[in-house]
Amino acid sequence: MKSIVSTTSAPAAIGPYSQGIKAGGMVFASGQLPIDPATGAMPEGAAAQAKQSLTNVKAVLEAAGTDLDHVVKTTVFLKDMNDFTAMNEVYATFFKEGSYPARSAVQVARLPKDALLEIEVIAIP
Q: 106: domain range?
A: 2-123
Q: What is the predicted pLDDT for the residue at 125?
A: 87
* Interval 84-97: pLDDT, tens: 999 999 999 999 99
* Interval 19-46: pLDDT, tens: 999 999 999 999 999 999 999 999 999 9
The structure's pTM equals 0.97
- How many domains does the chain fold into? 1
Q: Left, alpha or beta for 45 (phi > 0: left; psi -120 to 50: alpha)?
A: left
- Residue 101 exposed, middle or buried by CB count within 10 Å (0-12, 13-18, 19+): middle
Domain containing 56 — which CATH number? 3.30.1330.40
DSSP 20: E
